[in-house]
Structure 1
């Protein structure tokens, strides 16, 4: 479990995350949603220790992320940020191998290479393993970054807006892959999303943030309701039942 207690972050006089306390359940896929500027990505970066907290604590399976060594945390929790662009010209295999760095320290063993091959195959990238990243489509490249995170073999995998720049087909494929990782591999997957319907259809748990605070959390059935969404986004919504999922439309 990831336990967030009283976490805050300011930039100058602007309070971006304001005393957030929540527990992210172990297992399954949790989506964090909310309007622009709600503090979603900032909160995720603090959970992963990419940003320092001004106040509060984050505990991952009993480990305080501000006190545990980087090597230990990197074997427990991994993250894919929005800005995952690289200037170096790398192949898919090169990129995915970075996921083994907490274990190999840049000298991958046979076991590390087996992890790399499994991650590449799991993400359906076998035909592209020797391709350079700049030779891939946006969807293929994004899958390669996900393979890198998967190859790190952590219990907790965090993804900050992984559907950015993906079309509908690739977005659906990406959500299916992340849910598959949670269910088949026993991972805990936490995803920052803008699309309410992707969160509704693929999540086991949804966290809603607004104005830097925790607004609400619960199952998709708890969250994807007309009155709740209308209050969160200040927009009139309708919610429909379709094949067992709740689908939101606005007008």
Structure 2
């Protein structure tokens, strides 16, 4: 379980996170939604120990992420940042193999190589394994980054806007693969996503943020209502049920 207690983050005079307390249970897919500036990415980045909080605490299965040894946390939790840049020219296989570093420290074992092949196969990247990242489309490159995170083989997987720069077709394919990771690999996936339709269709739980606080949290059917979405996004939304899923339509 991921637990946040009175988590705060301040930049100058701006409070980005205002005493956030939250529990994210193990298993399934949790989406974090909200308008720009709500604190979504900041919260996820602090959970993933890439950013220090100014107050409060984050624990993962009882371990304080700010105090636990880095290697211990890296074997339990992985994170994909919103922006990823490599100055070195890498193949897809090279990139995915980085996910094994917390386990192998750069000396790949047969187990590591097996995990690399499994991650490549899971994201259908086998035919692209020897291609360089700068030779790939945006959707292919994003799949490679997600494969790297899955290759780390952690219980908790944090994804910050994994649908960035993807068209509708590739975004749907990505969400299906992320959902499959939760279902077939048994991962606890937490992602920041802007599209409330994707959050509704693929999530087990939705956390809605506004002004650095948790405005609402619950299953999709509880969150995807005109009243709650109007409260979070300050706009009128018509909610229509299609195939058992609640889909938000903006007006």
Equivalent in the alignment of 1:48: 48
| Cα displacement (A) at 1:110 | 1.6
Equivalent in the alignment of 1:85: 85
Equivalent in the alignment of 1:4: 4
CA–CA distance in structure 2, aligned partners of residues 43 and 208 of structure 1: 12
CA–CA distance in structure 2, aligned partners of residues 27 and 52 of structure 1: 25
| Cα displacement (A) at 1:250 | 2.1
| C-alpha distance after superposition, 1:135-166 (max 9, x if no partner) | 11111110000000000000000000000000
| Cα displacement (A) at 1:62 | 1.0
Equivalent in the alignment of 2:180: 180
CA–CA distance in structure 2, aligned partners of residues 110 and 234 of structure 1: 53
Equivalent in the alignment of 2:197: 197
Equivalent in the alignment of 1:156: 156
For 1:1-251, what aligned pairs fall within 5 Å after superposition? 1-251=1-251
- Structure 2 unmatched runs, 5+: none
Q: How many residues align?
A: 251
Aligned-partner SS, 2:15: strand
CA–CA distance in structure 2, aligned partners of residues 78 and 219 of structure 1: 24
Aligned-partner SS, 1:38: coil
Q: What's the TM-score, normalizing by structure 1?
A: 0.99
Aligned-partner SS, 1:232: helix
Q: What's the TM-score, normalizing by structure 2?
A: 0.99
- Structure 1 unmatched runs, 5+: none
| C-alpha distance after superposition, 1:217-247 (max 9, x if no partner) | 0000000001110111110111001000111
CA–CA distance in structure 2, aligned partners of residues 204 and 240 of structure 1: 18
| Cα displacement (A) at 1:99 | 0.1
Aligned-partner SS, 1:121: helix
Aligned-partner SS, 1:175: helix
Query: Following TM superposition, where does structure 1 have runs of at least 4 consecutive aligned residues deviating by more than 2 angstroms?
Result: none
| C-alpha distance after superposition, 1:83-111 (max 9, x if no partner) | 11211100000000000000111111121
CA–CA distance in structure 1, aligned partners of residues 234 and 119 of structure 2: 41
